[in-house]
């Protein structure tokens, strides 16, 4: 499968969505082929419906393994309908979250176990791994402060978890960074938005000159 699969990861409050919204048009101006911007869970109608179920604060009785299974189901359908066709067409896919999120949030945050969640997702993705992952790193205290300040009317089930949950998530992400140095690029998300976008943009242009022109 050709194409370029880029994912953006990070704990809550790291500013992934804001960075993606700023990064995408900049990449469009320099890309040598079409770019598909998408997100997980979501990106297609079925996965968006699953997203609503997962993040609905009213579903506070959801079992942790049910949550992990729903993420994997949404991911599978998203790959089948959107990601794989784009990559097969030699396009660039820019995705907000992928399997690393499940390993960090359900594997570590929910204490299901990273290996267990990895096995579940392997069934869903059939070996699909991003070519590069931009990990936006921020400490849990600062991340939660940002959430409470900027998303007070949009708090979902994961946002409302306590500090220890978010600390476990970040620790798992940092372990993934250490274990995948050739794929995952750590970006300091404590900086101003324009600086974070600049750092992400530079990393992609430097690493993939065949896909982006400087």
Would 213 be classed as within a structural domain?
no
Find the CATH number of the domain harbouring 56.
3.40.50.300
Would 66 be classed as within a structural domain?
yes
Would 164 be classed as within a structural domain?
yes
Would 41 be classed as within a structural domain?
yes
For 171-188, the DSSP string reads HHHHHHHHH-TTTEEEEE
Q: How many CB atoms within 10 Å of residue 32?
A: 11
Q: What confidence score (pLDDT) does residue 161 get?
A: 75
Would 140 be classed as within a structural domain?
yes
Q: Structural domain of residue 27, as residue ranges?
A: 4-207
Question: From the first residue on, what is the mean pLDDT of each consecutive set of 10 residues in the chain (214 residues)?
Answer: 94 94 97 97 98 92 96 98 98 98 97 97 98 97 83 58 91 98 98 97 97 92
Q: How many domains does the chain have?
A: 1
Q: What confidence score (pLDDT) does residue 214 get?
A: 81
Would 190 be classed as within a structural domain?
yes
Phi, psi of 113 (to 5 degrees): 115, 125
Would 214 be classed as within a structural domain?
no
Q: What confidence score (pLDDT) does residue 145 get?
A: 87
**Sheet containing 184-188: which strands, arranged edge to edge?**
35-39, 92-96, 4-9, 132-137, 184-188
User: With contact defined as beta carbons under 8 Å apart, do 11 and 101 qualify?
Assistant: no
For 50-103, the DSSP string reads HHHHHH-TT-TT--HHHHHHHHHHHHHHHIIIIIHHHHHTT-EEEEE--HHHHI
The annotated binding site is made up of: 10-17
Q: What length is written for the chain? A: 214
User: With contact defined as beta carbons under 8 Å apart, do 19 and 28 qualify?
Assistant: no
The annotated binding site for ATP is made up of: 10-17
Would 95 be classed as within a structural domain?
yes
Q: Summarize pLDDT for 142-178 with one digit per residue, the tens.
A: 988 888 877 655 555 665 678 899 999 999 999 999 9
Q: What confidence score (pLDDT) does residue 159 get?
A: 56
Is 0.85 topped by the overall pTM? yes
Q: What confidence score (pLDDT) does residue 149 get?
A: 79
């Amino acid at each position: 499968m050709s194409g370029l699969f880029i994912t953006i990861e990070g704990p809550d409050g790291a500013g992934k969505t804001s960075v993606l919204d700023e990064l995408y048009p900049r990449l469009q101006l320099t890309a040598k082929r079409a770019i598909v911007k998408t997100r997980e869970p979501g990106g297609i109608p079925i996965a968006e419906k699953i997203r609503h179920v997962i993040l609905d604060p009213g579903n506070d009785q959801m079992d942790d393994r049910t949550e992990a299974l729903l993420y994997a189901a949404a991911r599978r359908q998203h790959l089948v309908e959107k990601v794989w066709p784009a990559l097969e067409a030699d396009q660039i896919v820019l995705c907000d979250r992928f399997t690393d999120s499940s390993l960090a949030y359900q594997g570590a945050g929910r204490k299901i176990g990273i290996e267990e969640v990895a096995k579940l997702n392997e069934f869903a993705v059939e070996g699909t791994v991003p070519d590069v992952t931009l990990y936006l790193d921020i400490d849990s205290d600062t991340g939660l402060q940002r959430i409470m300040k900027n998303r007070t009317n949009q708090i979902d089930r994961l946002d409302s978890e306590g500090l220890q949950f978010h600390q476990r998530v970040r620790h798992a992400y940092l372990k993934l960074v250490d274990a995948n140095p050739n794929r995952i690029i750590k970006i300091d998300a404590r900086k101003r938005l324009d600086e974070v976008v600049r750092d992400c943009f530079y990393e992609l242009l430097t690493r993939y000159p065949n896909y982006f022109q400087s």
